[in-house]
Structure 1
Amino acid sequence: MILKELVDCYDLMANSDKFQIADNNSNNENVSFKVTIDQDGIVSSVIDLREGSGSKRKPVLMTVPYKFSGRTGKSIVPYFLYDNAKYLFGCELDSKSLELNRFDEYVGASKKLHMEILEGSQSKYQLILEKFFDNRDQNIEIVKEKDTEALKSGFIVLCFKNDTKCIHEQQEIKKAFALYRQIKFKDVKDLKGDCLISGFTNVPIARTHTPIKGVLGSSASGAMIVSFNESAFESYGKKQSYNASVSNGNEFKYTTVLNKILSGNENKIYLSGNSIVFWSNKIGCKEEKIIHAFLRDDEDDNDEEGNGGIKYNQEGVDKIESVIKLIKQGKTVNIDKLKLDDSVNMYILGLYGTKSRIFIRFWFKNSLIDFVKLTNKHFEDTKLKRIRKINKKDLIHEEVGVKMSLILKTITPYGKSQNTPKALINTLFKSILTGVVYPISIYNKILERIKAEAGEDYAVNHTRVSFIKGYLKRYYRLNNFKDKEEEITVSLNKESKNVAYNLGRIFAILEKIQMDSNNGSTNIREKYLSSASSTPKSIFPNLLNLAQYHIAKINKENNRMFNYYDKIIGEILLNINEFPAVFSSDEQGMFILGYYHQREDIYTPKKDKEEN
């Protein structure tokens, strides 16, 4: 159960020294400024806590006192010891007009709340804060002089100038706030029932659930994973979130930990419009970086051997960094020779938001070893030979698979992943992590993009052909077409009898002949690739006749390559009895695979072929 795993994740974070996570009297908020005040409640300094530079500065996450309710519409709801300038100073600077607008009712409500909480606490901060609110006009002028940005909409925390901790972090303040909460809610009659997460009976059930922030597509104020439809449940006597019976404690835990993960960068990634969070049962362990490496589409700096700067040796490897390097590059690892911790379980949660709700795209729970095995299987199925530049002069030949993020990018025009249909990531992710056939919808979209962009150099690229190869490999394997599966190889298969594959090879040679004949100024791929891969009978006789003209031209220019081209075409044609009128979907993929293989072989130097 997803919520149960999130609750367990909260407990792991709370018991770990690596994390600071809110308890049930606090929550996490993004804070922009820290204002220090003296004994008389007068502002002495304004500290900008935001990270970054210029317009890209972002607030920092801090643990602050629990807020009793959210703000909706024009409601006046102050927060304790953290708030914006409207509540702490009674004014706010308009970011457009730069006018200072006053909000006397807001600061009055804030002062009232602070005095109520600290009443009878005998804390020195009670008097300091009272003076702070009373001297707000003087403080506004000081803040205007020191940093007017603090008078905008960002959250502010307060600190006494002689303290190292903020006021809300002082133990006496925490105790006073906890006592106030206890008294305030002692007469609240919570509905009791069975918690669906823990299984405990007769426990207080959460009336509402805290919004989750940071999910792509949802509003800035957050959205709900557990929510309700009043009209749908009123006939059952269920209102608000009582239709999803979750205890107050577990509601706090799952929402707090999810907001915590989404606010950071270590265990979160955005992919094709989806927000993906991941963790392990050993939260914060280095093995979690494997998931990050698999989901992201970047590669580390690669050395001349394509090993990301690491001389990787499978014998006795116990450094997880080596595994991460290989996965980043789409390479398989030898699990039997790796010292992976078999007690580590991985959890991956894909989320997509709308204005008010958050939807689960996918959920994966498995051991670290099984996760690596499944990525191995994916990389092995999609493994394809490619030539890659490592600098301006040098090339390397490598055999690598393709990562999920690159697949999602390549099915959209111009590789813009934000245009990827959101549902496709779900089906693709499931196919990778279950070993079933890849989605035919993605396979068809890649064929479609290749034909539409045939005139571009990137039309038939490593990513697209790798997926085509992987799709066909799994499709034939899982449908028990063993002979067809064995014909699909990582690099050029000269022994293949597949007509579509061999016609793809011929098309690559015809393209090279024409380019050599015309000094690279024309290319038949743009004009004929689509029809040649779909209806070969209507195209290839004309292309072969045209090739004779180009071969003769090359021969006239004393280019010895014309004999080589003519010979190769003749050898391939021995495997083709006739040109089919139409190619099926999988035959079109074989055509593209043959074209890619032959093209890579043409541009592989003889020396490299002999070494391979």
Structure 2
Amino acid sequence: MILQALVRYYQRMVEREAKGIAGYGYSPEKISYEIVLAPDGTVQAVNDIRDTTGKKPQPRLLDVPQPEKRTVGIKPNFLWDKTSYVLGVSATSKRTDKEHEAFKVFHEEALAGTQDEGLQALLAFLRRWSPDQFQAPLFLEEMLDANLVFRLGDERRHLHEREAAQAVRARLLGDESAEEGAQPISASSAICLVSGEVAPIARLHPPIKGVNGAQSSGASLVSFNLDAFTSYCKSQGDNAPISEQAAFAYTSVLNYLLRRGPDNRQRQQVGDTSVVFWAEAAGGEVDAQAAENFLASLLMPPDDDSEAERLRTVLDGLSKGRPLAELDPGLASGTRMYVLGLAPNASRLSVRYWQADTLEVFAKRLAEHAQDLRIEPLPWRVEPTVYRLLLATVPNREGAKPKTDDAFDNLIGETMRAILSGGLYPRSLLANTVMRIRSDGNLSGMRAAICKGVLTRERRRGIHTSDEEIPVSLDKQSTLPGYQLGRLFAVLEYVQRCALGGQVNATIRDRYYGAASATPAAIFPVLLRNTQNHLGKLRKERPGQAVTLEREIRDIVEGLPDRFPRSLKIEGQGSFAIGYYHQSHTHFTKRDATGDAAEHTETETEGAL
């Protein structure tokens, strides 16, 4: 189904002549220089055609005959290649003589009998060229190992764009199929799993480039290269029969989707997974483009405040059951959406997740995700991406921002799959977050939101770890032991701050949070005894505040069981974090309202990540 959807998308892109999508047998490749030939094969000029709009010149993407898939063998490309093949010179290759000879022999055979002036000029060039001629001023050392194309005289098109060259290319593609056998059904011609038609089968599929962490030369989504994969006398691509045209189509459009650049909103990087998505709309490309832009905004919320507010309004409406078409009439809710996550795996690619559904279904799942995470006070200005969300699960390093490289790749993948499919968040997401809070003492709003999101979704899916819903904002009536203990811990810390002011080197959160959230019975009696000393000081200095805080402690303790729990399970520790977050921010809000300097926590800077 993945390959079928990709091939359909490729066909639509070709029909509308989309930039960056080449026809069968061609592909966009990075080209740096062009050699201008005279009709007799002499070199008139060597032009640098790289893009110089940025700080550093970059190769230009040109549609050229699709490159050969090279491993260790020597295989020249048609009418273009790197300098070791075209000119017999290289800064790295140790077999330039063999590569250049292969390039000459291949073109002598392919272009034999041609009457085209440009192709004859190329043959004449190859016959008279010697690597010793690679000298300034025409040829510079910076050209070594760059890709080259050819052009005839003052013509604007390159040799591979000439009609005669395209005819030769089509013949070569046909010859390759004929060499494998043109019988209706044979070892190399079979029913294509993608199109359902009998066609020559691709033994090797073109490489897919652009997946982070994969080989720079490209990796394969479908490949068989060991004897262990041979069965029923079938080897390589015959094990999964896909026609050459279908293999070309799906790899071409995947390379297009994976292209890098600020103009590509159909590609997202989430941890080690490169995520691409596309739309298939009955209403045409306008509806498809609108759907792709909308999904891109959902997955990567905009920084613009007005756009972020508009997106939040749509998500809130969806969470309340309103249809997408009513919230945004410019979107066709029935548009089919496809999301594919690819991760590197040596010379191959692994599919981390594959989701296909309508735009409205995806929008509702993302709205549900936002609703599950929602916690008051809201710790972000813009809805967090999965990237920002997973940053909360990695350790805080003193003087440095957390990096997603420290996050577990499988955790990132499972979390993204849960968001897209609407399934349960991985339990390890809660466990890792709780563990990080206990280890570094940083209870940010993002971490509290993760705890709340995991527990809320489990309850929504029928896993009742408690008899109550997880509160969004401060709930003084809650009877969840973990939540109430978190509230109590926040009040005790606040009492300490009020009594000692700026003289506190380390609060009880810095010293006791981990133990208090895991083994309350061992810690809270000690904390309550110490709190009496702080309250005694407050009674002398601010008796009114002391009375208020004593009442607050008493109300929370009365809602707890007769004895403090000996231990809290992981969900209880998550509730503890949520209760602490709610209660501590209530204190900060009160202090702001009275004009006192508020104590700022990590939560208030979380939105800056």
**Structure 2 residue ranges without an equivalent (≥5):** 183-187, 397-401, 595-609
| Equivalent of 1:242 in 238, 244, 252 | 238
Whether 1:208 and 2:191 are equivalent positions in the alignment is no
| Equivalent of 2:104 in 111, 126, 144 | 111
| Equivalent of 1:507 in 467, 489, 496 | 489
Q: Deviations over 1:528-583 (max 9, x none)?
A: 00111111111111111211222333444448643432232222222123311111
| Equivalent of 2:571 in 571, 586, 593 | 586
| Runs of 4+ with >6 A deviation | 324-328, 330-333, 606-609
In structure 1, the partner of 2:115 is 122
| Equivalent of 2:533 in 537, 549, 565 | 549
Whether 1:154 and 2:146 are equivalent positions in the alignment is yes
SS in 2 for 1:64: strand
Deviates more, 1:85-94 or 1:339-348: 85-94
Q: Deviations over 1:91-129 (max 9, x none)?
A: 1235xxxxx989344333323333433333322212432
Q: Deviations over 1:401-457 (max 9, x none)?
A: 643222322222343212333322332233223333321111111111111111xxx
Deviates more, 1:214-223 or 1:33-42: 33-42
Instruction: Note the 1:86-101 alignment, pairs <5 A.
Output: 86-93=84-91
Amino acid at match of 2:390: L
Q: Evaluate the alpha carbon distance shift between residue 460 and residue 343 of structure 1 in structure 2; reply closer, same or farther with a 3 A threshold.
A: same
Amino acid at match of 1:141: Q
Q: Is contact 1:34-1:159 (8 Å) kept? A: yes
Q: Evaluate the alpha carbon distance shift between residue 387 and residue 422 of structure 1 in structure 2; reply closer, same or farther with a 3 A threshold.
A: closer
| Equivalent of 1:596 in 577, 581, 589 | 581
In structure 1, the partner of 2:476 is 494
Per the TM alignment, residue 338 of structure 1 is displaced from its structure 2 partner at its CA by: 2.4
Q: Evaluate the alpha carbon distance shift between residue 462 and residue 356 of structure 1 in structure 2; reply closer, same or farther with a 3 A threshold.
A: same
Instruction: Note the 1:217-228 alignment, pairs <5 A.
Output: 217-228=213-224
Task: Determine the C-alpha separation between the residues in 1 that align with 2:308 and 2:522.
Answer: 51
Whether 1:275 and 2:271 are equivalent positions in the alignment is no
Task: Determine the C-alpha separation between the residues in 1 that align with 2:94 and 2:313.
Answer: 54
Instruction: Tell me the TM-score normalized by structure 2.
Output: 0.84
Amino acid at match of 1:179: R
Amino acid at match of 2:336: N
Amino acid at match of 1:526: D
Task: Determine the C-alpha separation between the residues in 2 that align with 1:332 and 1:149.
Answer: 61
Report how many residues are paired.
567
Instruction: Tell me the TM-score normalized by structure 1.
Output: 0.84
Task: Determine the C-alpha separation between the residues in 2 that align with 1:123 and 1:234.
Answer: 44
**Structure 1 residue ranges without an equivalent (≥5):** 95-99, 302-307, 313-321, 389-396
SS in 2 for 1:413: coil
| Equivalent of 2:77 in 76, 79, 102 | 79
In structure 2, the partner of 1:394 is none
Whether 1:523 and 2:507 are equivalent positions in the alignment is yes
| Equivalent of 2:135 in 138, 141, 144 | 141
Task: Determine the C-alpha separation between the residues in 2 that align with 1:324 and 1:498.
Answer: 30
SS in 2 for 1:49: coil
In structure 1, the partner of 2:311 is 323
In structure 2, the partner of 1:464 is 447
Task: Determine the C-alpha separation between the residues in 2 that align with 1:289 and 1:311.
Answer: 14
Q: Deviations over 1:498-548 (max 9, x none)?
A: 222111112112222223314143221121001111111111111112112
In structure 2, the partner of 1:18 is 18
Task: Determine the C-alpha separation between the residues in 2 that align with 1:250 and 1:437.
Answer: 36
In structure 2, the partner of 1:305 is none
In structure 2, the partner of 1:170 is 162
Task: Determine the C-alpha separation between the residues in 2 that align with 1:210 and 1:279.
Answer: 21
Task: Determine the C-alpha separation between the residues in 1 that align with 2:313 and 2:97.
Answer: 58
| Equivalent of 2:459 in 457, 473, 476 | 476
Whether 1:428 and 2:415 are equivalent positions in the alignment is yes
Q: Deviations over 1:305-357 (max 9, x none)?
A: xxx13495xxxxxxxxx4399779x9999534322212311111111122222
Amino acid at match of 1:542: V
SS in 2 for 1:18: coil
| Equivalent of 1:338 in 311, 314, 328 | 328
Task: Determine the C-alpha separation between the residues in 1 that align with 2:384 and 2:368.
Answer: 11
Q: Is contact 2:485-2:576 (8 Å) kept? A: yes
Q: Deviations over 1:33-82 (max 9, x none)?
A: 3444455532524224256756x765343221133x42333x43221222
Q: Evaluate the alpha carbon distance shift between residue 581 and residue 88 of structure 1 in structure 2; reply closer, same or farther with a 3 A threshold.
A: same
Q: Is contact 2:114-2:120 (8 Å) kept? A: no
In structure 2, the partner of 1:64 is 64
| Equivalent of 2:252 in 232, 236, 256 | 256
Task: Determine the C-alpha separation between the residues in 1 that align with 2:526 and 2:84.
Answer: 77
Q: Is contact 2:465-2:571 (8 Å) kept? A: no
Q: CA RMSD in A?
A: 3.2
| Equivalent of 1:353 in 344, 354, 358 | 344
Amino acid at match of 2:199: V
Q: Evaluate the alpha carbon distance shift between residue 364 and residue 545 of structure 1 in structure 2; reply closer, same or farther with a 3 A threshold.
A: same
SS in 1 for 2:149: strand
Q: Evaluate the alpha carbon distance shift between residue 387 and residue 476 of structure 1 in structure 2; reply closer, same or farther with a 3 A threshold.
A: closer
Q: Is contact 2:468-2:480 (8 Å) kept? A: no
Task: Determine the C-alpha separation between the residues in 2 that align with 1:288 and 1:154.
Answer: 35
Deviates more, 1:497-506 or 1:535-544: 497-506
